[in-house]
Chain A
Amino acid sequence: MIYNKIAFQADPFSYDLVFDDRITLVGGDSGTGKTVLYDMLEDLKQTEEYSAIKLFNYKSEDVFERLKQCRNNFIVIDNADILIDDEIRRFINFEFSNQYMLFLRNCDGLNVSDRSFKVMKFERNMITLEEEL
C-alpha cells in the first residue's frame, strides 16, 4: 500500500480516508462529492507527503500511455467508467507497485475484494470512506 490513510483539512471540511485494499472503488449515489475530492487531491499532490498521487479524469490525454509509466504511485481515476478499458484493467490488476482509488461502478475484470467497495460519507463536515453495503 502506498497510503493506508489520506487525511487533510479543507475548511470547513476534514477528510479522513482509510484504505483497506490495493484497489478501492468509490461508488454510491451521484452528488456525494467524489469530484470535489478529486479537485482537492490536485492541490494535495503538490505536497511532499502526497507526491505519489497521480490523477486522471476525462480531461486527461494519453491515459494509458501515462498510466503505464506509473510505479509506486497512488493513482486516482475520476470518470473511470468511461475512461478505463480492458487494457487498463489488466494494468491495474498486474502492476502491484501502485495503489488505486477508482471512481468506478463497473468492477468487471478487476481483482477486487469485499474491502474494495466504498462510498463517501459526509457527517458534520467530516468526510470518510465507508464500506458499501
Chain B
Amino acid sequence: MIDIYTEKTGLKDWIIKNDLFFNLNTSNEEMSDYEIALIKQVDDAILTSDKHIETKYGLGTIRNLSSGCKTLLNIVKHPEKVVCVEECGPNVLKVIFAMDKIKIYMSRPSLVDIPDDAIIRFNDTDVVTGSTGYNTWWSKEYERREANDL
C-alpha cells in the first residue's frame, strides 16, 4: 500500500527539503544494487563505489544527482518517513507509484501512470485502487476544497 498525505500535520516524520536531507543523510548511506539501478534509470548516471557519478553532464558526486532522484532514494532508504514528491518529474513518479509500503506527501494531483493494482490510502482513511481510484479521490477532494473556499 502507498500512503499519500495531502496536508502537513505535526504528527508525522516529514522530508520536505529532499535535496537537503539527501545531501546530509541519505547520501552517506550504502547504496544497494537496486538503488544503483534506480540512479541509472532516473538520471542515467553511473554510481561508483566511492560515491562519484558519471552523467552526460560530466563527473560529480552523489550530491549532484537530480532532486527527483534524491527524492526517490530518500523514499527507498527511509520508508518510515513521509516524503514530499512535489518536485518529482513524471519519470520518477512512475517509479514511486510502482512501489509498496511507502509514505508520500502531495498537496495536489500529478499526471502519473499508476498500475491498476496499486492500493493507495489517502490521509490514513480513504483506500482506493489504481489510477481510477486516484483520480476519483482527487476530484472529490477538489470539490471539497471548492466548497470550503480552500
Q: Are B57 and A30 in contact (CB under 8 A)?
A: no
A28-B66 CB under 8 A given contacts A58-B19, A82-B17, A108-B108: no
Cα of A58 to Cα of B19 in the assembled complex, Å: 8
Indicate whether B75 reaches chain A with its CB closer than 8 angstroms. Answer: no
Cα of A36 to Cα of B66 in the assembled complex, Å: 9
Q: Are B42 and A82 in contact (CB under 8 A)?
A: no
Could you say which of B16, B68, B86, B108 contacts A31, with CB atoms under 8 Å apart?
B68
Q: Are B86 and A81 in contact (CB under 8 A)?
A: yes
A9-43 with Cβ < 8 A to chain B: 13, 27-36
- What is the chain B residue whose CB lies nearest that of A27? B89
Cα of A32 to Cα of B69 in the assembled complex, Å: 11
B52-94 with Cβ < 8 A to chain A: 56-57, 65-69, 71, 84, 86-92
Residues of B in contact with A, size category: 20 to 34
Q: Are B91 and A106 in contact (CB under 8 A)?
A: no
Cα of A33 to Cα of B69 in the assembled complex, Å: 12
Q: Are A31 and B42 in contact (CB under 8 A)?
A: yes
Q: Are B67 and A35 in contact (CB under 8 A)?
A: yes
Neighbouring B residues of A79 by C-beta, 8 Å: 17, 19, 67, 87
Cα of A35 to Cα of B69 in the assembled complex, Å: 12
Q: Are B90 and A82 in contact (CB under 8 A)?
A: no
Indicate whether B110 reaches chain A with its CB closer than 8 angstroms. Answer: yes
Neighbouring B residues of A108 by C-beta, 8 Å: 108
Best-surrounded residue of A34, A82, A106 (most CB of chain B within 10 A): A82
Neighbouring B residues of A13 by C-beta, 8 Å: 57
Q: Are B86 and A30 in contact (CB under 8 A)?
A: no
Could you say which of A28, A33, A81, A122 contacts B87, with CB atoms under 8 Å apart?
A81
CB distance from A125 to the nearest CB of B (A): 9
Residue numbers of A with Cβ under 8 A of B are 13, 27-36, 58, 79, 81-82, 105-106, 108, 122
Residue numbers of B with Cβ under 8 A of A are 16-17, 19-20, 42-45, 56-57, 65-69, 71, 84, 86-92, 108, 110
4 closest A-B pairs by beta carbon, nearest first, are A30-B68, A30-B89, A31-B43, A29-B89
A-B contact pairs, 26 of them (CB 8 A): A13-B57, A27-B89, A28-B89, A29-B68, A29-B89, A29-B92, A30-B71, A30-B87, A30-B89, A30-B91, A31-B44, A31-B65, A31-B66, A31-B69, A31-B89, A31-B91, A35-B67, A79-B17, A79-B19, A79-B67, A79-B87, A82-B16, A82-B17, A105-B110, A106-B108, A122-B56
